[in-house]
Chain A
Amino acid sequence: MSPPVSRGFRHFRRPTEGEQNRVPPGQYVAQGFPVLSAGPTPHTPLPEWTFSIRRAGETLKSWTWDEFQALPAEDVTVDIHCVTRWTKLDTMWRGVPVETLLGEARHDAPYLMAFSDGGYTTNLPVQDVTGGQAWVAFGYDGQPLPAEHGGPARLLVPHLYFWKSAKWVRGLDLLDHNEPGFWENYGYHIYGDPWRQQRYAGD
């Protein structure tokens, strides 16, 4: 028996005709920017913040906040898609391309695990974070990235579901084999392509 329809209930709006090719299947368009987290907001003081590329327990390359800020950064406008079904169009970020960071580490690893303050992790193929597809973002909407949205810096990988865009990111562990991160371990899809609705393992 199907549940009763709630008369007059409108939610995040459906895409307009002009937006349809930008909104993946099953998604709705959000006006605001929902804050969703698996744990408390960390507050690492910038003088203690570092971003590291590691492999097999060894740090290949690391940047302090000042060193990171000295790297060439770019402004990008992208659409983002959360697995909880909201899509936000035309979000504006400033960040360092991940390939700039990986390029300093000289490696041939096919996969990585992004790790964050607070213990969150998420896995990605290296080929999905190079070629202009990913950034370590420290600015949102023309302002420093707020802590609740992942500041001082978060990963930004807009072509995959947004749980892959790890908040409070502190580095990348290079891997020889793909391994599930935090949500992937609990049943979310190992890759997470919103255009193929890869929300859960087995989709």
Chain B
Amino acid sequence: MVALDGNSIGGLLFEVFGTDLTAAQTICATCGAAAPVAETVVYLRAPGTVVRCRTCGSVLMVIAQIRGMSCVDLGGMAALDTGQGG
């Protein structure tokens, strides 16, 4: 399985959050590393989408599309900063 990066889920995240998050900074809840979403490690169709920290490999986010809804678990992120003051 070839891992991609957060660029590949830009559309999915836009659909879920209503904004383009590829440049948003994530902070890993496990190791504290900061990175833009675009540079995270992404596994698609795993069957869901698994987003991992490039530094420590921990799961940052999981997105499962279930009966037409996107179920997002952000538990692996300490923060997701869109830079919009929110």
**A contacts B: CB pair < 8 Å:** yes
* Residues in chain B near residue A188, CB distance under 8 A: 47-48, 64
Q: How large is the interface on B (under 10, 10 to 19, 20 to 34, 35 or more residues)?
A: 10 to 19
Per the bound structure, the CA–CA distance linking A187 and B66 in Å amounts to: 7
Q: Are A186 and B1 in contact (CB under 8 A)?
A: no
Q: Are B64 and A186 in contact (CB under 8 A)?
A: yes
Question: Chain B binding site: helix, strand, loop or mixed by DSSP?
Answer: strand
The interface size of chain A toward B, counting residues with CB under 8 Å, comes to: 18
Which of A20-28, A38-46, A126-134 forms part of the interface with chain B?
A38-46
The interface bits of chain A over 146-166 (1 if a CB of B lies within 8 angstroms of the residue's CB, else 0) are 001000000000000001000
Q: Which residues of A contact B (CB under 8 A)?
A: 35-41, 82-84, 148, 163, 183, 186-188, 200-201
Given contacts A39-B57, A186-B71, 15 further A-B contacts (CB under 8 A): A35-B1, A36-B45, A37-B1, A37-B43, A37-B46, A39-B52, A40-B3, A40-B41, A84-B47, A148-B1, A183-B47, A183-B48, A186-B64, A187-B71, A188-B47
Q: Which residues of B contact A (CB under 8 A)?
A: 1, 3, 41, 43, 45-48, 50, 52, 57, 59, 62, 64, 66-67, 71, 73
